[in-house]
Amino acid sequence: MHRVPHSETDLLILIAQGDEHAYQLIFQKYWHPIYNTALILTRSPDLAEDIAQDVFTMLWEKRSTLTAVEKLEGFLFIAARNLIYTRMRKLASDKAYRQYIMDCFQEQQAPNVHEQVEYRELEQTIQRTIHSLSPQQQKAFRLSRYQGMQHKEIAHKMGVSPVTIKSYIVQAIAILRRALNSQHARSVIILWGLLFLQ
């Protein structure tokens, strides 16, 4: 575990200002404790990974509110606990939702003209957003989502730690989610699933 050179209060202020380095320090400190807690409670490595990723995605997305957090550790573990509870309750519906996504994808194999325009616009939004990421985030995200590489493989290729790769991907997903949330087409459901529910 890395020694944090600033107090967590200072780091939260920096994160609230959009400081990615401060975010990565918090990520490196708390990723494994959050993951291990989720693993103990869910007994599923994949679900624990999803929970930990969602916690840190939420942390980045809601960074502007972090200055009101008094104890970060408690804040993160409460968020993880709530996500675990929600996921365990809705696991069956999650499976149905994933199947719905794939059914929609099959139905859209021959889209009409309007849907083709929607797809082009969505693809342009995705590509613009990816291009807006930092070079490291872009590379990590593309290797993960487009080439199917594991975090350890990406880390070796980029010469950084797997934890850093996870941080890059979590931030990229948060940014892409915000971009896609501005869209209201049915096609977003499909693209969202293909990007984020793998």
The answer to whether 183 touches 125, Cβ cutoff 8 Å, is yes
**Cα gap 34→49, rounded to integer Å:** 9
pLDDT of residue 176: 82
Whether residue 35 has pLDDT greater than 70: yes
The answer to whether 49 touches 39, Cβ cutoff 8 Å, is no
The answer to whether 145 touches 198, Cβ cutoff 8 Å, is yes
The answer to whether 142 touches 157, Cβ cutoff 8 Å, is no
For the chain, residues classed under CATH 1.10.1740.10 are 8-89
In angstroms, what CA-CA distances link 172 with 21, 30, 167? 15, 19, 9
Model confidence, pTM: 0.53
CATH for 111-196, options being 1.20.1090.10, 1.10.3720.10, 1.10.10.10, 3.30.1490.20: 1.10.10.10
pLDDT of residue 183: 59
- More confident position, 193 or 132: 132
